[in-house]
Amino acid sequence: MAQHASAEKQMRQGEKRRARNRSNVSQVKTQIRKLREVIAKGDAAQAKAMLPETASAIDKAVKKGVLHDNAGARHKSRLTSRVNALGARS
């Protein structure tokens, strides 16, 4: 347990940051999961419509420091290639 006022303040700040980060991580993971489900169904039109929303959510997470830059780029690249492959099959 924190003994000094500054350490107690750091604990309070850490709790707030943790809650904020968990919320941001949850939002981006949910958006990615929704797009993956649409891709699994094979709905190319809906997947193409959802891709910009998902890319935006990933970019916001990267900007906030929730995701690493390269991880965000990797997610966007893989999702985009899957959506494009889905459109080619249709």
Domain ranges of the chain: 5-89
Q: Is the pLDDT of residue 89 over 80?
A: no
Domain 5-89 has CATH 1.20.58.110: yes
**Confidence bin at 87 (pLDDT 50/70/90):** confident
Supply the pLDDT for residue 90: 58
pLDDT tens string 19-78:
999 999 999 999 999 999 999 999 999 999 999 999 999 999 999 999 999 999 999 999
- Can you tell me the distance from the alpha carbon of 82 to that of 34, in angstroms, rounded to the nearest whole number? 14
Supply the pLDDT for residue 35: 97
Half-sphere exposure of 11 (CA within 13 A, CB side): 8
Phi-psi region of 49 (alpha: psi -120 to 50; beta: other; left: phi over 0): alpha
Residues contacting residue 59 through CB under 8 Å, at least 6 positions apart:
72, 76
Its pTM stands at 0.85
